[in-house]
Structure 1
Amino acid sequence: MIKTLAKSIREYKIPSILTPVLVMLEVLFEVIIPFIMAKLVDEGISAGNMSVILKLGTFLLLSAFLALVSGALAGKTAAHASAGFAKNLRQDMFYNVQKFSFSNIDKFSTSSIITRLTTDVMNVQNSYQMLIRGAVRSPIMLAFTLFAAFRINKELSMIFLGAIPVLGIGLFLIIKNAHPIFRKVFKTYDKLNNVVQENLRGIRVVKAFVREDYEIKKFSDISNEIYERFTKAEKILVFNMPLIQFCMFGSMLLLSWFGAKAIVASGNNPALGLTTGQLMSLMTYVMQILISLMMLSMIFVMITISRASAERIVELINEETDLKNCENPVFEVADGSIEFKNVSFCYSDKADKMILENINLKIESGETVGIIGGTGSAKTTLIQLIPRLYDVSKGVVKVGGRDVREYDLKTLRDQVAVVLQKNVLFSGTIKENLKWGDENARDEEIKKAAQIAQADGFINEFPDKYDTYIEQGGTNVSGGQKQRLTIARALLKKPKIIILDDSTSAVDTKTEALIKKVFTEELSGTTKIIIAQRVSSVQDADKIVVMDNGKITEIGTHDELMEKSRIYREVYESQVKGGVMANV
Structure 2
Amino acid sequence: MVFKAIGKYKLLVFAALVTMIIQVAAALWQPQYLKNIMKVMVDTTLSTNGKVDQISSYGFGLIAIAVMGLIGSVLNTIAAAKIAQSVSADIRESTFRKIQSFSYEDVEKFSASNLVVRMTNDLNQVQMLLMMVFQVLIRVPMLFVGAFVLSIMTMPQLWWIIILMVVLIVVVTAFSMKAMGPHFMAFQTLMDKINGIAKDNLRGSRVVKSFVQEKNQISKFDKESDELFGHNLAVGYIFSTMIPAFTIISQLAVFGAVLFISTYITDSVSVATDQLGGIMSFIQYMMQIMFAIIMGGMMSMFASRGFVSAGRIQEVLATEPSMKYDDVPDEKLTGSIKFDDVSFAYPHDEDMTLKNISFEIKDGEMVGIVGATGSGKSTLAQLIPRLFDPNEGTITIGGKDLKHVSQNSLKQSISIVLQKAILFSGTIEDNLKQGKTDATEADLNRAAKIAQAAEFIDRLPDRYDAEVEERGNNFSGGQKQRLSITRGVIKNPNILILDDSTSALDARSEKLVQEALNQELKGTTTIIIAQKISSVVHADKILVLDEGQLVAQGTHHELVQSSEVYQQIYDTQKAQED
TM-score by length of 2: 0.95
| Structure 1 residues without counterparts, runs of 5 or longer | none
CA deviations over 1:204-231 (Å, ceiling 9, x no partner): 1111122212211111111112112333
2:297 counterpart letter in structure 1: S
Aligned to 1:162: 164
Aligned to 1:173: 175
Aligned sequence identity (%): 34
Aligned to 1:262: 264
Cα distance in structure 1, aligned partners of 2:239 and 2:97: 36
Cα distance in structure 1, aligned partners of 2:10 and 2:374: 53
2:370 to 369, 372, 381: 372
Q: What does residue range 342-353 of structure 1 map to in structure 2 within 5 Å?
A: 342-348=341-347, 350-353=348-351
Aligned to 1:125: 127
3-state SS of paired residue (1:51):
helix
| Structure 2 residues without counterparts, runs of 5 or longer | none
Cα–Cα, structure 1 residues 42 and 313, in superposed 2: closer, same or farther, change >3 Å? same
2:300 counterpart letter in structure 1: F
Cα distance in structure 1, aligned partners of 2:88 and 2:236: 25
3-state SS of paired residue (1:269):
helix
RMSD: 1.8
3-state SS of paired residue (2:138):
helix
1:266, 1:274 within 8 Å by CA — same for their partners in 2? no
Cα distance in structure 2, aligned partners of 1:129 and 1:344: 51
1:325, 1:408 within 8 Å by CA — same for their partners in 2? yes
1:331 counterpart letter in structure 2: D
1:71 to 70, 73, 78: 73
1:423 and 2:414 equivalent?
A: no
Aligned to 1:36: 33
2:39, 2:274 within 8 Å by CA — same for their partners in 1? no
Aligned to 1:439: 437
Cα distance in structure 1, aligned partners of 2:433 and 2:107: 25
2:216 counterpart letter in structure 1: Y
1:372, 1:544 within 8 Å by CA — same for their partners in 2? yes
2:516 to 515, 518, 522: 518
1:482 counterpart letter in structure 2: K
Greater shift in the superposed pair: 358-367 or 37-46: 37-46
Q: What does residue range 142-541 of structure 1 map to in structure 2 within 5 Å?
A: 142-263=144-265, 265=266, 267-270=268-271, 274-326=274-326, 328-348=327-347, 350-541=348-539
1:378, 1:549 within 8 Å by CA — same for their partners in 2? yes
TM-score by length of 1: 0.94
CA deviations over 1:511-543 (Å, ceiling 9, x no partner): 111111111111111110000001111110000
CA deviation after TM superposition for structure 1 residue 330, in Å: 4.4
CA deviation after TM superposition for structure 1 residue 275, in Å: 2.5
Number of equivalenced pairs: 573
CA deviation after TM superposition for structure 1 residue 10, in Å: 4.7
3-state SS of paired residue (2:5):
coil
Cα–Cα, structure 1 residues 10 and 200, in superposed 2: closer, same or farther, change >3 Å? farther
CA deviation after TM superposition for structure 1 residue 155, in Å: 1.6
Cα distance in structure 1, aligned partners of 2:367 and 2:283: 87
3-state SS of paired residue (2:394):
strand
1:57 and 2:59 equivalent?
A: yes
CA deviation after TM superposition for structure 1 residue 193, in Å: 0.7
Cα distance in structure 1, aligned partners of 2:461 and 2:88: 42
Cα–Cα, structure 1 residues 246 and 34, in superposed 2: closer, same or farther, change >3 Å? same
CA deviation after TM superposition for structure 1 residue 150, in Å: 2.1
CA deviation after TM superposition for structure 1 residue 273, in Å: 8.6
1:572 counterpart letter in structure 2: Y
2:392 counterpart letter in structure 1: K
Cα distance in structure 2, aligned partners of 1:107 and 1:246: 50
CA deviation after TM superposition for structure 1 residue 242, in Å: 3.6
CA deviations over 1:521-576 (Å, ceiling 9, x no partner): 11111110000001111110000000011110100100011011112111112112
2:177, 2:297 within 8 Å by CA — same for their partners in 1? no
Cα distance in structure 2, aligned partners of 1:185 and 1:435: 41
Cα distance in structure 1, aligned partners of 2:408 and 2:260: 77
Greater shift in the superposed pair: 17-26 or 337-346: 17-26
Cα distance in structure 1, aligned partners of 2:407 and 2:237: 51
Greater shift in the superposed pair: 383-392 or 87-96: 87-96
Cα distance in structure 2, aligned partners of 1:300 and 1:378: 52
CA deviation after TM superposition for structure 1 residue 503, in Å: 0.2
Q: Where in structure 1 do 4 or more consecutive aligned residues deviate above 6 Å?
A: none
Greater shift in the superposed pair: 409-418 or 549-558: 409-418
Aligned to 2:15: 18
Cα distance in structure 2, aligned partners of 1:565 and 1:551: 13
2:552, 2:563 within 8 Å by CA — same for their partners in 1? yes
CA deviation after TM superposition for structure 1 residue 385, in Å: 1.0
CA deviation after TM superposition for structure 1 residue 252, in Å: 1.2
1:336, 1:497 within 8 Å by CA — same for their partners in 2? yes
Aligned to 1:134: 136
CA deviation after TM superposition for structure 1 residue 44, in Å: 5.6
Greater shift in the superposed pair: 339-348 or 76-85: 76-85
Q: What does residue range 97-108 of structure 1 map to in structure 2 within 5 Å?
A: 97-108=99-110
